[in-house]
Chains A and B, each alone.
Chain A
């Protein structure tokens, strides 16, 4: 019996190109969201549609790439874990620097919630364009999205501030060479 040969891996762009895509994606969804939010009026409905569809297409491409991205790719969809979030909260409350070093678990939660919110807001927008009864739902989801974004910006700047506060703070006094206390393994 012959063992089936593994399916050939699709060539995936370099990590650098993937990061550039993420930057472009972030710029498109944030710019698009801001413009769509400010042009929700009837008078500027053309602009609202243009900006909304920009976000919808960007999110669709991002989600599709996230589904096919190989392990370890920055494009993989976020996998938020409740346990990791609990641990992160513990670190934050105790002032443990692990809360703001590396890639804190809270960012993965934010990314997942934001991607889901942007998908819901844009899809409900397309639906509301066809069925006007859905306009209120679309409005409510947009407001929810806006609050999530406010939270996202606060978390990103908060973590950035904490990281910088720590680097600006004077280094802890060195442990006396003869002391056995505080020795790390």
Chain B
């Protein structure tokens, strides 16, 4: 059960992080330059 829980959590973290990232890029809405910039900022965090 614990293993299943951890797997669900890992998948959810990745999905939420990706969706949140896409959301932020869309909200910023100023082109590919900002996408790369956001990715760098997120990774640097």
Contact = CB atoms under 8 A, between A and B. Distances in A.
A63 interface: no
B9 A30 contact: yes
Contact of A27 (B8, B17, B24, B25): B8
Contacts of B9: 26-27, 30-31
A26 B17 CA distance: 16
Interface residues of B, number: 24
B36 interface: no
B45 A41 contact: yes
B41 A43 contact: yes
Determine chain A's interface SS by DSSP, over half rule: helix
A35 B8 contact: no
Contacts of A73: none
Contact of A28 (B2, B16, B27, B28): B16
Given A30-B9, A31-B12, A39 B45 contact: yes
B28 A51 contact: no
Interface string B5-41: 1001101111111011101110110000000001001
